Structure 1
């Protein structure tokens, strides 16, 4: 083989490999790097904008307390908003927000639980809102951060408190991942709305659906980048594996027409979960739309589940 032909034959795969690495790095930064703003909601959710802002206005009128958490490594500083119940209550819900959101974006759920007589804690996850962090952990590191929030609720409200964990989308996956941890007895129930099975499956699904890209080689390379940046592979981040260890009553909610976190993930999570479990697949709801289609029906289902699994 002539030298020029040999160089050309070698250069083509090297160029392809380099292009794949560059694309994977861009993909990682797009998906995992924090943004210091809340992106606009999807076009199909714009019709709920006025209702959404009315809930945010309600939150701003509440006697909100700012809670803070400095983690053991001394470099991570997290913040949360605490809304005490109108009347003294031993029950508190910790609400986990979605991807690139923050605690305030969950104002509608805060209103619902406040209306049910709960104290409400609204954390900003690491890499979101006013909390520190360069990257988004998709629930994996957050699950341990939320254990610290649980402990702070117990410290602030007393050992007789009863805690419910609630989350939507990435927040739903976060509380699902918490289910596999050793939780204090004050944590009584979990409600997960449209949580994914694992970040690896979710990323592979969205790559194919939104960008028409295959899982290989992009997901393994992104996983390797995350191992270098965050200390774990994407295969570690699994709601399914955590749910196998669940012992608490858990309620799964999912939109029937969800194409962002597809309904097969609901079924896989439900089948994996230990403990008492219930499921509600909401007709005609897209991703994270179940509340907005009918807030009264949503509250009715949540309230009924909690009445079934909590003591009077």
Structure 2
């Protein structure tokens, strides 16, 4: 037999070890960077309009007297598309906004029922998300300007009415941030809202990659700044919802949501001040509460608006709460672009 005791095994040099470690680290960093870029590009990239995307239901099929309208966003840098549905006896106007990559047609059924309940309705779609596509979008950072433009247009169309808002998914998150900046909105329904921009991205990464988001957090935030001009912490409904009180908020969320973490709803509820309502629905997916029980959904929503916009008198806000945010405050407490 051969004896192996005297066989010399080559020892790796310190230089080889360092180069190997650097190569491995560079590979890991490249993967992290690639994932961060992919997340941001998926989030903001323009979307092509499918051939039959416009072949959908309109107010015509539902027999409601909707007008095609356009109005400027807050800074008048583009026009926002919407439908305005006037009710002859309305003392209230409800502003309805769909979610990320959503169109006004997505929420048309709700709009028709709100109109039949006696409200004026303004429903719009965020620029770049609905029928107008082909330009980069964000997840609420620039979209809040469309919401504030909708508030200004609703005031112009029906200045003597009281205003409420309903939003879905990103539209709900934007409605929270926009209502905090719009004392005209006296009651808000937020369906499937995310608590923070970071949390909704983290939830998607955990569900798809099955990895902790902390690995990709810093590089994704950096790429978001480089590619879209903002950071995660500039879109945080969780920070803004406490500024809405004493105006009421209703938070709705399905507990089987695979897009927005269902735990975001209790977080938002805890951060909100009274009056507030929380409706969690078991075995319901993202924005599925309306479709799981249309009658109960509309009963709750119409009762909410009837109470706070028709029966109870307007609430008095402290001037400090309704004060428009000034530029120095934005610098010390980064908020969304609209601030």
**Alignment TM-score, normalising by the size of structure 2:** 0.78
CA change 1:283–1:12 in 2 (3 A) is: closer
Match of 2:300 in 1: 301
CA change 1:157–1:210 in 2 (3 A) is: same
Matches within 5 A, 1:157-176: 157-158=158-159, 160-176=160-176
CA change 1:217–1:262 in 2 (3 A) is: closer
Match of 1:225 in 2: 223
Counterpart Cα distance in 1 of 2:74 and 2:242: 28
Unmatched segments (≥5 aa) in structure 1: 39-52
Aligned residues: 294
Matches within 5 A, 1:227-306: 227-247=225-245, 248-306=247-305
Counterpart Cα distance in 2 of 1:184 and 1:216: 37
Counterpart Cα distance in 2 of 1:18 and 1:135: 25
TM-aligned CA deviation for residue 244 of structure 1? 1.7
Matches within 5 A, 1:1-312: 1=13, 7-37=19-49, 56=58, 61-71=63-73, 75-85=77-87, 87-131=88-132, 134-158=135-159, 160-181=160-181, 183-185=182-184, 187-247=185-245, 248-312=247-311
CA change 1:178–1:73 in 2 (3 A) is: closer
SS at match of 1:101: coil
Which digits, 9 at most, give the CA deviation of each residue in 1:223-262, with x for residues without a partner?
1122123322112211110012112111111123334323
SS at match of 1:227: helix
SS at match of 1:197: coil
Q: Is the 8 A contact 1:77 1:132 kept in 2?
A: no
- Higher mean alpha-carbon deviation, 147-156 vs 76-85, is at 76-85
Q: Is the 8 A contact 1:196 1:202 kept in 2?
A: yes
TM-aligned CA deviation for residue 132 of structure 1? 6.4
Counterpart Cα distance in 2 of 1:71 and 1:310: 26
Which digits, 9 at most, give the CA deviation of each residue in 1:278-305, with x for residues without a partner?
1222243222111011111111111111
Counterpart Cα distance in 2 of 1:227 and 1:150: 28
Q: Is the 8 A contact 1:36 1:128 kept in 2?
A: no
SS at match of 1:195: coil
Counterpart Cα distance in 2 of 1:154 and 1:252: 25
Which digits, 9 at most, give the CA deviation of each residue in 1:167-206, with x for residues without a partner?
111111111222322x143x22100111111110111112
- Higher mean alpha-carbon deviation, 271-280 vs 258-267, is at 258-267
TM-aligned CA deviation for residue 96 of structure 1? 1.3
Higher relative contact order (CA 8 A, sep 6+): 2
Unmatched segments (≥5 aa) in structure 2: 1-12, 51-55, 312-339
Counterpart Cα distance in 2 of 1:72 and 1:166: 19
Q: Is the 8 A contact 1:56 1:108 kept in 2?
A: no
Aligned-residue CA RMSD (Å) = 2.6
SS at match of 1:196: coil
SS at match of 2:180: coil
TM-aligned CA deviation for residue 71 of structure 1? 4.0
Q: Is the 8 A contact 1:165 1:191 kept in 2?
A: yes
